[in-house]
Chains A and B, each alone.
Chain A
Amino acid sequence: MQSTPDEIGRRLRERDRSAAPAALNLIEDRTPRGREATARLLAEVSPAALGGEAPAHLIGVTGPPGAGKSSLLSALVSVWRERGRTVAVLAVDPSSKRSGGALLGDRARIEHDPRDDGVLIRSTAAGGRLGGLAAATREAAEALAAAFDLVVVETVGVGQSETDVEEVCDTVVVVVQPQSGDVLQFLKAGIMEVPDVLVVTKADLGAPADRARRDLQQAVGAVGAGRVPVLAVSSLPPGSGVEELADAVDAHRAALDADQRRPRSRRMSALRELTAEHGERALRALGGRREAERLLAGQDPRTGTAELVALLERSIEA
């Protein structure tokens, strides 16, 4: 039963979960044929088609390897499900091997009930793609946002993410373990942008986790972001702090003006994708970055990213 891209998009808009895997298969297809199908699919779930910004909460979860992201996400997913919310997780694996192949999901197994339709886990490799990953992840998040209450983009790394998925997300959560001093240094030195929520895992260790939490709270205070919540969680049974984390993530979303933030992030994505595709020369052809930004700002705020990119490309040709 092959569905057309438009149908898949429509089904997502109607919150039909079973359309999601097919949508993701299309989006990952970076051939011209696949790009064309993706554009049609995304048009069906664009803010214009939805009559406003997708109601889903887009959450970025990032942190160094071994910080305990998967265990934390397993615990978070079950809290969210208890609260009756549906969740899609896009796990971006950093592996980039000479062969182009990658082992996915090995470190990042998120436990969930396979019979529960309210959860979807999808993993992709960052390296060796047949095309840009950032674009594919952004598109996947946009598509899933039509059908799920929460869309989580899980990436590995700290600060300088290779995927720039943060700009797509409403809320960015950085996860660290108590022993990692790097994050503290990055924050202090301003190498790393201050996230929306900071999480220290392995709270079951007691004192070290508590100390790490206080150090981080102090560091964000020192760079003028004292309001950013820093939480200590433990994913080991009986578990602690996970409910509070879910609350903190919700609170951030509640305080956020999505109608403002999302159009802006779509414009940023469009510019980045344009330069990724055509290089800096494309920007010069548009009269420079400022001019291009002005052009985008003049568009209907509900215009989808793909359409914005197409518009820029048309302007270059004109």
Chain B
Amino acid sequence: MRTYAGHSSARESNELYRRNLAKGQTGLSVAFDLPTQTGYDPDHELARGEVGKVGVSIAHKGDMHALLDGIPLDEMNTSMTINATAAWLLALYMTVAEENGVDRRALQGTTQNDIIKEFLSRGTYAFPPEPSMRLIADMIAFTVDEVPKWNPINICSYHLQEAGATPVQEIAYALSTAVAVLDRVRPRVPEETFPRVFGRLSFFVNAGIRFVEEHAKLRAMGLLWEELGRERYGVEDPKLLRFRYGVQVNSLGLTEAQPENNIIRIVLEALAVTMGRDARARALQLPAWNEALGLPRPWDQQWSLRIQQILAFETDLLDYPDIFEGSKVMDGLVDELIEGARAEMAVVAERGGAVEAVPYMKTQLVESHRERVRRIEAGELKVVGQNVYTEHEPSPLQEGEDGGIMRVDAAVERSAIEAVGEWREGRDAAAADRALEELRAAAADEETNIMPATLAAARAGLTTGEWAAALRDVFGEYRAPTGVSDAAAAESDEELDDLRERVERVSESLGRRIKILVGKPGLDGHSNGAEQIAVRARDAGMDVVYEGIRLTPARIARTAVDEGVHVVGLSILSGSHAELIPTVLEELREAGADVPVVVGGIIPKADEEALLAAGVARVYTPKDFQVSRIMGDIVELVAQHHGAAAAA
């Protein structure tokens, strides 16, 4: 039982962890900020506005010491949501243990470390696919003997569902990822060790609101996993064949409208992963009711923790053996999912496996997500409070001074920038240089395990940004496929036809086709929203410049001007809009671009007003679920702004 937590500085997060442990939480789940997740120090240009935002900033072992201060590491189970830089953060964790006199063999916990889903959904990758897979393989090969209680990788189907995956896709792509990882590790460990490697793999699964089917999904995954272990890898020990998974229930289905209803959704989703003992989650993590509004406060997280405690201690949920044993309905559902997943796994295998099939899977997810969005827009998929039963009383939960969300002080970033500078000044420079050289050499040699050099770098006081920069030098930078180009054109319907006609009219009046730049400033990699906007804008007949994630404000302004766009659409979900959006506006003004800017994302009401005052033309939040309406709005905006004669 734990809640995903961490924000601003290591010291503040440490206090939060201690409070949560005192309330009965039994482990830690560390959220890192985006610069830490993508391998940039707080003083890097791309880190601007992101430091301490969605999690804690950890730039070196000193920060890690502060984060874990007073927490007994040999007793703690620590889950770290870290992927591209997982090897580095584990090295920092191990270094802190070592310097506190704790044997690394006693360390327990999990590093998420699933890079495929970063390419597909979450976007916090740092290196190209091949070297990324090597880092994962190195970590697994290292920990299996050196840190034997550690789960070096937690393969995530969670984010696939957030990106729109159907249950079949979720099962198939997660298991295909596992196959890719296992195949990559196999030659790097002795044959007799390999079954233990198989046993160390764990999963991080999503549970959506269709909780009966979701329970079936978990049973299906367990059966397929065992089959895979036996048949493909020859694992025989039933303990090693067990499908071990943790859960964070669905955030995609949480609504901004009438957000108090989310608590009910969360309870039902929690049931999906706890109902039947044969497929019960090993660890459960519940989101807060107000995630669609902004960062949750400690009180919101406490509420989620209490759900788990009530389920576990008040209900009779845990009193029985598997309650679905012999159920025809459940077995039928499970069989159907297994069959579908097998077929989809075969498609991925045909394309050369999960790494090679990233573009294919990405396109499939973009399509599935589009279908979901379409069904909600059309009212086929009912979401209470959003597209049905929308009338409501004012919510007392959102009346507090903070508007019902938590805010991170901007001073956090300033002090982190100063602190990392001081840290670099204060360390033994010669030792740091030596460690950096060794790291480069290890990275350049495919046969060498990266972990020992990474540990040496952590001990020598290198920073997160330095570690990642050295690896970027050797491995190169990478940009994941967006999936939007290959997304099929939308089926024609009345609304779309009408929209197309308006786009044509305004385009003719402008003399050239409406051109829109869709971009994601900052480090936030959650690109689903931006992708849906890009695809729909194309379907509506616009020329769309979509440059994907991780754009600096300067880059956005330059592209807007050079590409001659009529409107700029920015998407941001990391909570850094207050810093980044005004910077983009400023850069645009400096570049002499006279284009309206629209913004979409998780943006609290108060911030919305500030953004509009700063010069943003429109702000869209999750309650604006009708993409067609947003498009119509944009067409009108372009017509007005550029004085197109034909009013939209």
Contacts and interface: CB of A to CB of B under 8 A. Distances in A.
Contacts of A237: 473-476
A102 B534 CA distance: 10
B592 interface: yes
A232 B475 CA distance: 20
B513 A130 contact: yes
Nearest to B477: A111
Contacts of A107: 485
B545 A21 contact: no
Contact of B592 (A1, A33, A97): A1
A115 B510 CA distance: 29
B92 to A, nearest CB: 26
Contact of B541 (A101, A103, A104): A101
A72 B543 CA distance: 25
Contacts of B542: 101
Contacts of B554: 114-115
A55 B648 CA distance: 44
B563 A123 contact: yes
A242 to B, nearest CB: 14
B128 to A, nearest CB: 8
A315 interface: no
A124 B562 CA distance: 12
Contact of A122 (B484, B508, B547, B562): B562
A97 B476 contact: no
A98 B482 contact: no
Contacts of A24: 564
Prevailing SS type, chain A contact patch: loop
Contact of B479 (A29, A101, A109, A130): A109
A101 to B, nearest CB: 4
Most buried by A among B479, B534, B543, B548: B543
A28 B507 CA distance: 12
Interface string A106-142: 1101010011000011111100111000000000000
A111 B548 CA distance: 13
A18 interface: yes
B580 to A, nearest CB: 15
B229 to A, nearest CB: 34
B540 A101 contact: yes
Contacts of A105: 545-547, 559, 563
A25 interface: yes
B561 interface: yes
Contacts of B473: 237
B479 to A, nearest CB: 6
Given A97-B489, A123-B563, A104 B507 contact: no
A106 B512 contact: no
B477, B511, B541: residue with the most chain A Cβ atoms closer than 10 Å: B511
Contact of B485 (A98, A100, A106): A106
Interface in B576-601: 592
Interface string A69-102: 0000000000000000000000000010111111
Contacts of B476: 236-237
B174 interface: no
A95 B485 contact: yes
B469 to A, nearest CB: 13
A101 B564 contact: no
A123 B515 CA distance: 11
A99 B547 contact: no
A124 B512 CA distance: 11
B562 A120 contact: yes
Interface string B545-583: 111100010110111011110000000000000000000
A115 to B, nearest CB: 6
A28 B479 contact: no
Contacts of B369: none
B537 interface: yes
Contacts of A114: 552, 554-555, 557-559
Contacts of B500: 99-100
B489 A98 contact: yes
A237 B561 CA distance: 30
Contacts of B511: 28-31, 33-34, 130
A121 B561 CA distance: 10
Contacts of B504: 100
Contact of A101 (B474, B537, B547, B555): B537
Given A105-B545, A114-B557, A130-B507, A97 B562 contact: no
A123 B545 contact: yes
B543 to A, nearest CB: 5
B242 to A, nearest CB: 40
A205 to B, nearest CB: 12
Between B503, B504, B540, B544, the greatest number of chain A beta carbons within 10 A of the residue's beta carbon is seen for: B544
Interface string A1-39: 100000000000000001011101100111101100000
Interface in A152-185: none
Given A24-B564, A106-B485, A114-B558, A101 B534 contact: no
A30 B557 contact: no
B539 interface: yes
A25 B538 contact: no
A22 B563 CA distance: 10
Interface string B467-481: 000000111110100
A95 B554 CA distance: 28
B564 A21 contact: yes
A99 B544 contact: no
B538 A102 contact: yes
A21 B489 contact: no
A213 to B, nearest CB: 22
B546 A102 contact: no
Interface string B344-358: 000000000000000
A113 to B, nearest CB: 9
Contact of A103 (B510, B546, B561, B563): B546
Interface string A44-71: 0000000000000000000000000000
Contacts of B561: 21
Contact of B512 (A18, A20, A25): A25
A308 B161 CA distance: 59
B573 to A, nearest CB: 20
Contacts of A121: 559, 562-563
A107 B481 CA distance: 8
A143 to B, nearest CB: 13
A293 B605 CA distance: 67
A152 B482 CA distance: 25
A114 B551 CA distance: 10
Interface in B215-256: none
A101 B548 contact: no
Contacts of B512: 25, 28-30, 34, 130
A130 B509 CA distance: 11
A111 B551 CA distance: 11
Contacts of B564: 21-22, 24-25, 28, 122
B534 A103 contact: yes
A29 B535 CA distance: 24
Interface of B: 473-477, 479, 482, 484-485, 489-490, 500, 503-504, 507-508, 510-513, 534-535, 537-548, 552, 554-555, 557-559, 561-564, 592
13 contacts: A1-B592, A21-B564, A29-B511, A30-B512, A33-B511, A34-B511, A101-B513, A103-B544, A104-B544, A105-B545, A105-B546, A121-B562, A125-B543
Shortest 4 CB-CB distances between A and B: which pairs? Answer: A29-B511, A114-B558, A114-B555, A101-B538
Given A21-B563, A104-B544, 9 more contacts: A22-B564, A24-B564, A97-B489, A99-B539, A101-B537, A102-B543, A114-B554, A114-B559, A130-B511
